[in-house]
Structure 1
């Protein structure tokens, strides 16, 4: 029956894991339609706000425009005007803009702002629907300039948005009918379902706004997502599942304070470590005292916990090259908090000129490696600073993907072979450290952490004895497959 979850499902608060299980156990194939709302559902906040700020920075709006926008927003919140009127007022400000200019602006805003506002929980659900072969679409009152870059990023082919009038490549400032709001959006979704010879009873709908209640009642799988007040009340009355998550959102003073408190704890710890280093004349002793405490302080202040499996592998083989998959700026904190001691940092020679790198190199064992010319002799010479630290008992920590992976729809990025050649040459094992959900507590470019639990699996050491110059690439791919297999079949956490 439309508007009612299938029998046997739970009602009220529901987790992403619960929904994934239901998707996997339910009907498969393209006749099952999945509709995602955009603002507030796939992404945190509103894309219109990012566009407004971009125009503001360019000086496109004067004081009168700002005052007019403020009044219109207040009227909308007070329900003195309809959202369609607010949209019309906003689009009117785009009169005279070139279509190509707005397309380029949309791409830039996505790259700088919106890509880090995509909810990882919604990506998990999106991928579950994709594995089930479902037909997936976005339906939004926003324009294509706001929505299409994110849709491409997530691999969503079908996009329904509000349409602006364009003549000879220039916007007229008018919106075309029907508008994608309330009934207009519901009609567009119903037409989409009919065009795919599917049924509303087999349609999933994720949305947050109160204006979506009518469409929620029409589909067979309504999932209010971070719902507004009226939608939440309706969901409770109808017995619908309610999905809530907070891995993305506004930067609050509390979040900033918590993260800053943890990060700034480095400075008193740094002075303590320098003191220990001077007394013992051993930089490694200073690093072993300071860095684990710093990582602990950052996570304690931020409310981040680590749920770990395979802790015994962290100390069974030292020194080693610890490999971790890289999603955000804080992955190294998580790994450092686990490995804790006798760690060394490998950096490009150019980083010698970086003031932060220079400061840390006074405390932490660092090898600044020159790029080799390619011959075995030159490679061995470039690697000598690292070999020296390994001979002294230090392990190395490296992200073989080379940088923070941007694509949220893939489990693991491609691996560079440098870390594997290093391990082979030095004759030490590699130890894979698989991080499952780092994006739940911080986006790719985030500078602050949100409270939550990060799952980490430490895999058994992989010996490099018997590796050769020729088969190292193959061995790297085998290790990468270990990461993929672990993410697909996650082991139980340690007690």
Structure 2
């Protein structure tokens, strides 16, 4: 038992050191992305961004000791934007989605993440939308911005619960969670995550190995949602 706890502490320290060093190591990639964006080479930006973020996300999961299983990968549309609607168990949900859903995506994220150095710059490049959860007017503006991003051809992820459940229980959906898909008229792809809270949230910030499952359901067309 003590040996396992010591092992988890060491794993956690290594993980956080790696996390920080990796962000510093990809600064040259970030600068290249900035140059490509300034030149208007959006397709190259999207391809490079997707490749780098996917690689980073998988490395974080591997180092944490996550044993990932994926079901329903064939349900992700090969073309066109979609709104991924997903439950939110823990911090590792984001690298899980980025690493294992084969489609470039951005997130509807809480406004506080915009204050995090380096990470916020990558999120902005990915076209993430920052939302103040307790500000009704700003939430409406975020939905409008998200709708514009979807209409421009970029996929988004929303966590309708609005916060991490830190367990296998799903919290209530926030009002207006699916307005994005209805406004932009894009398919909704439901995703269920199970087990990410066991990697960290169940024991504070101490990382432990865990089995994690990602299940992707068939897309729901917006017309179906409006009549449901």
Q: Structure 2 length as normaliser, TM-score?
A: 0.77
1:309, CA displacement in angstroms?
Answer: 0.9
Q: Distance in 2 between matches of 1:351 and 1:262?
A: 16
| Structure 1 position 303 matched with structure 2 position 44 | no
1:362, CA displacement in angstroms?
Answer: 4.8
Unaligned ranges ≥5, structure 2:
none
Does the 8 Å contact 2:185/2:222 carry over to 1?
Answer: yes
CA 1:364–1:252: 2 relative to 1, 3 Å = same
Aligned with 2:210 (options 428, 446, 452): 452
- Residue 413 (structure 1) aligns with: 171
Does the 8 Å contact 2:73/2:101 carry over to 1?
Answer: no
1:437, CA displacement in angstroms?
Answer: 2.0
Q: Distance in 1 between matches of 2:142 and 2:170?
A: 28
Does the 8 Å contact 1:292/1:337 carry over to 2?
Answer: yes
- Structure 2 matches for 1:29-428, cutoff 5 A? 249=5, 251-262=8-19, 264-279=21-36, 281=39, 282=42, 283-316=45-78, 318-348=80-110, 352-355=114-117, 358-369=120-131, 371=135, 373=137, 379=140, 382-406=142-166, 408=167, 411-428=169-186
Q: Distance in 1 between matches of 2:31 and 2:202?
A: 32
1:298, CA displacement in angstroms?
Answer: 0.7
Structure with higher Rg: it is 1
Local SS of the residue matching 1:418: coil
Superposed CA deviations along residues 327-379 of structure 1, whole A, max 9, x for unmatched, are: 111111111112254212323556545545643345322334575549xxx94
Q: Distance in 1 between matches of 2:92 and 2:113?
A: 19
Unaligned ranges ≥5, structure 1:
1-39, 46-245, 476-495
Give aligned pairs, total: 219
Q: Distance in 2 between matches of 1:412 and 1:455?
A: 15
- Residue 487 (structure 1) aligns with: none
CA 1:445–1:395: 2 relative to 1, 3 Å = farther
CA 1:454–1:259: 2 relative to 1, 3 Å = farther
Q: Distance in 2 between matches of 1:434 and 1:269?
A: 30
Q: Distance in 2 between matches of 1:441 and 1:434?
A: 16
Q: Distance in 2 between matches of 1:311 and 1:352?
A: 30
Q: Distance in 2 between matches of 1:338 and 1:331?
A: 11
1:434, CA displacement in angstroms?
Answer: 1.0
Higher-RCO chain (CA-CA 8 Å, sequence separation at least 6): 2
1:261, CA displacement in angstroms?
Answer: 2.0
Q: Distance in 2 between matches of 1:416 and 1:323?
A: 12
Q: Distance in 1 between matches of 2:198 and 2:136?
A: 38
CA 1:312–1:252: 2 relative to 1, 3 Å = same
Q: Distance in 2 between matches of 1:303 and 1:439?
A: 13
Q: Structure 1 length as normaliser, TM-score?
A: 0.39
CA 1:300–1:348: 2 relative to 1, 3 Å = closer
CA 1:454–1:314: 2 relative to 1, 3 Å = same
Q: Distance in 2 between matches of 1:357 and 1:259?
A: 14
Local SS of the residue matching 1:256: helix
1:454, CA displacement in angstroms?
Answer: 1.0
Superposed CA deviations along residues 166-213 of structure 1, whole A, max 9, x for unmatched, are: xxxxxxxxxxxxxxxxxxxxxxxxxxxxxxxxxxxxxxxxxxxxxxxx
Q: Distance in 2 between matches of 1:415 and 1:352?
A: 23
